[in-house]
Chains A and B, each alone.
Chain A
Amino acid sequence: MKIVVCVKQIPDPASPYQLDPESYFVVRPNDQVLDDTDRYGVEVALQLSDELGEDASVTLLSMSPGGSQQGIRQALAMGADGAILIEDETLRGADALTTSQILAAAATRAEADLLIAGTESTDGYTGVVPQQVAEIMGVPALTFARKVEHVDGKLRIERQTQAGYDVVEGALPAVLSVTSGVVEPRYPTFKGIMQAKSKPVETLTAADLGVTAKVSQKIVSVEEVEGRQAGDIIEDDGEGYLRIIEKLEEVKVV
């Protein structure tokens, strides 16, 4: 089984983001890190691959300016076999749909049996890419998985819902999006880190994939969000909890 995992390289969330003053695009530094959300996808892929043994392989898929490839190496060091990097100046500022077209084309080219993604990235967080990719590829989308099993050549997941979970089954090939509760991602081992450099990273352009980037979106303005207001302080006179329940009812949480 050929497993392809989407890994997004993003600017280190620990350092403040900078927006390009003209285009409002996030300035992408040379050293980008692996989006934390995608470590779960990588772990799911590695566990499936361990279970399937020899017949399985794990390839990473990323669309971004390559830079030092720090984020990709991080995922390679966890144990993936190789990576595909789509790096193309014409894709600068790609919107979600363009991104999905590219990822779908690359996954198809790589003959992926299973494409794994996060549910929502940390920097863009539109949360639409996995579903769009599935639609473009014409394969089932199993989304918001909090548990993944491979049974009889099919994928069975527990799909996280507001009330609990649904059990969903789908045939392969398929697209799977996983939540951060699904597994505990492994640490890259020091040995893995040393070996990551010698793993193959194939670099492609949009043209290689037969996709012409038609970026039809423009960010027209960016405004600062209002600072958070100070909260209400409820002094506990022994029955403070009643006032808290009242508050929660007011905002319709309970």
Chain B
Amino acid sequence: MNFDLTSEQKLIVQTTREFVKKELLPHEAEVEKNDHVPDGLVESIKAKAIAAGIYAPNMPEEYGGGGLDSFTMALVERELGAAGYALNYIIARPSNILMACEGDQIERYLIPTITGERYDCLAMSEPDAGSDVRGMKCTAVRDGDEYVINGTKHFISHADMADYVILFAATGEEETARGPKKRITAFLVDMGTPGFELVPGYNAVSNKGYHNSILNFDDCRIPAGNVLGEEHKGFDVANEWLGATRLQVAAICLGRARRAIELATEWAASREQFGQKIGKFQGVSFKLADMQTQYDAAELLTFRAAWKDSEGTMTDSDAAMAKVFATEMCQFVTDEAIQIYGGMGLMDDLPLEMFWRDTRVDRIWDGTSEIQRHIISRAMLRPLGG
């Protein structure tokens, strides 16, 4: 087994790390405090990211993206994860599902999203349909050359920055052995389409400056040509392309955890109580050992899943294990880092309490920890008929 990175991968890591350090982190405190990224800053970071060729790194080179494979993307995400979502998502990673674009969708959606002229967001969740996405109530009914959409989506990340939404809606029902099952279709819907209203979402404790929105559809008409993939095959396209988002969440947790470990280690090596460095107390040093061990284990799981994804052999369980372990590792690590700092760890003079809050959502979005465990255990039990 060879764990070495190629020289290209090392350089990609180095470049991304430097970009984060120089262009993103200096704005961290301000964004956190104001819960807002200043408008001019978005434009200037975006322009620099485009010039540096690190914008849309996950998208194919032939359309102007970075052309990185899943494993190299995990390396990039780990570096980007050192900064919060509000800043790191200015460097767009368009949803991989856009690779399902066909015909003029490529010119209208895929390419401009890669070049930075347009920005996407993705809407599945609804007030009454979270983990149980198939229970969604938002419908799209065919009417001639159009679909008519009705319903509500909520918790939709960065919809306030987006020019269009990749929308999942129910397009009918089919009978199965276990009863009726909704058929789901994916659509591309432009902001500003009549009947489509964007409302600011809730104030979250995690990721200040990175907002969620509520999307209301009231007889919103879109052309039939805006189906992404095939009608009724929304979950097929999602399954084909969205596995990597769980790896993204896992890898971002690595970047954040690494910062927390660095800070905690420095503090343990310098803070003195009872006449000695607190790192000399086993109660503190063993925490560091556990934090680092958990981190390494999470990194190995994440990189294994990502590497398998690059090879086309990643299973649902691989991605689920990486996601659940890395997100829970990050919660543990940021919590212990605060403990090592004592009272100071809770103060917003340091970024630790922010890491701790930011990472809370990682155990919820893109499939909760429980859902990931469900996926892993189902794969174990199903072959035994359990």
Q: A194-B67, A196-B8 are in contact. Are A186 and B15 (CB under 8 A)?
A: no
* Cross-chain contact A194 with B7 (CB below 8 angstroms): no
B61 on interface, CB distance cutoff 8 Å = yes
Interface residues of A in 33-89 (CB under 8 A from B): 33, 68-70, 73-74, 77
Kindly provide the distance from the CB of A38 to the nearest chain B CB, expressed in whole angstroms.
15
Chain B minimum-CB-distance residue to A197: B8
Q: Complex Cα distance A69/B8, Å?
A: 11
Q: A74-B14, A186-B52 are in contact. Are A191 and B8 (CB under 8 A)?
A: no
Q: Hey, which chain A residues are within 8 Å of B68, CB to CB?
A: 190
Q: Hey, which chain A residues are within 8 Å of B66, CB to CB?
A: 190-191
* Cross-chain contact A31 with B10 (CB below 8 angstroms): yes
B371 on interface, CB distance cutoff 8 Å = no
Chain A minimum-CB-distance residue to B6: A197
* Cross-chain contact A197 with B7 (CB below 8 angstroms): yes
Interface membership of chain A positions 188-213, coded 1 if the CB is closer than 8 angstroms to chain B and 0 otherwise: 11111110110000000000000000
* Cross-chain contact B11 with A193 (CB below 8 angstroms): yes
Q: A68-B7, A186-B51, A186-B52 are in contact. Are A193 and B61 (CB under 8 A)?
A: no
B18 on interface, CB distance cutoff 8 Å = yes
Q: Hey, which chain B residues are within 8 Å of A74, CB to CB?
A: 11, 14
* Cross-chain contact B7 with A190 (CB below 8 angstroms): no
Interface residues of A in 4-39 (CB under 8 A from B): 31, 33
Q: Complex Cα distance A190/B67, Å?
A: 9
Chain A minimum-CB-distance residue to B11: A193
Q: Hey, which chain A residues are within 8 Å of B12, CB to CB?
A: 190, 193
Q: Hey, which chain B residues are within 8 Å of A194, CB to CB?
A: 8, 67
Q: Hey, which chain A residues are within 8 Å of B15, CB to CB?
A: 77, 187-188, 190, 193
| Residue among A31, A186, A188 with most chain B CB within 10 A | A188
Q: Complex Cα distance A187/B7, Å?
A: 16
Q: A74-B14, A194-B67 are in contact. Are A189 and B54 (CB under 8 A)?
A: yes
Q: Complex Cα distance A77/B66, Å?
A: 14
B19 on interface, CB distance cutoff 8 Å = yes
Q: Hey, which chain B residues are within 8 Å of A33, CB to CB?
A: 14
Q: Complex Cα distance A4/B142, Å?
A: 65
B53 on interface, CB distance cutoff 8 Å = yes
Q: Complex Cα distance A187/B22, Å?
A: 11
Kindly provide the distance from the CB of B3 to the nearest chain A CB, expressed in whole angstroms.
15
Cβ-defined partner of B53 (8 Å) among A31, A69, A192, A197: A192
Chain B minimum-CB-distance residue to A190: B66
* Cross-chain contact B7 with A188 (CB below 8 angstroms): no
Chain A minimum-CB-distance residue to B66: A190
* Cross-chain contact B10 with A190 (CB below 8 angstroms): no
* Cross-chain contact B54 with A187 (CB below 8 angstroms): yes
Cβ-defined partner of A189 (8 Å) among B7, B10, B52: B52
Kindly provide the distance from the CB of A87 to the nearest chain B CB, expressed in whole angstroms.
16
* Cross-chain contact A190 with B53 (CB below 8 angstroms): yes
Q: A187-B19, A190-B57, A191-B61 are in contact. Are A77 and B52 (CB under 8 A)?
A: no
Chain A minimum-CB-distance residue to B52: A187
* Cross-chain contact A70 with B54 (CB below 8 angstroms): no
Cβ-defined partner of A73 (8 Å) among B7, B53, B67: B7
Interface membership of chain B positions 42-53, coded 1 if the CB is closer than 8 angstroms to chain A and 0 otherwise: 000000000111
* Cross-chain contact A73 with B61 (CB below 8 angstroms): no
Q: A31-B10, A70-B10, A197-B8 are in contact. Are A190 and B54 (CB under 8 A)?
A: yes
* Cross-chain contact A187 with B10 (CB below 8 angstroms): no
* Cross-chain contact A187 with B18 (CB below 8 angstroms): yes
Q: Complex Cα distance A192/B57, Å?
A: 13
Chain B minimum-CB-distance residue to A76: B11
Interface residues of B in 1-32 (CB under 8 A from A): 7-8, 10-12, 14-15, 18-19
Q: Hey, which chain B residues are within 8 Å of A73, CB to CB?
A: 7-8, 11
Besides A33-B14, A70-B11, A77-B11, 8 other CB < 8 A contacts? A68-B7, A70-B7, A187-B52, A189-B53, A190-B57, A191-B67, A194-B8, A196-B11
Interface residues of A (CB under 8 A from B): 31, 33, 68-70, 73-74, 77, 186-194, 196-197
A-B contacts, 16 listed (Cβ < 8 Å): A31-B10, A70-B7, A70-B10, A70-B11, A73-B11, A187-B18, A187-B52, A187-B53, A189-B54, A190-B68, A191-B66, A191-B67, A193-B11, A193-B12, A194-B8, A196-B8
Give the top 3 A-B pairs by smallest Cβ distance, nearest first: A189-B53, A187-B52, A190-B66
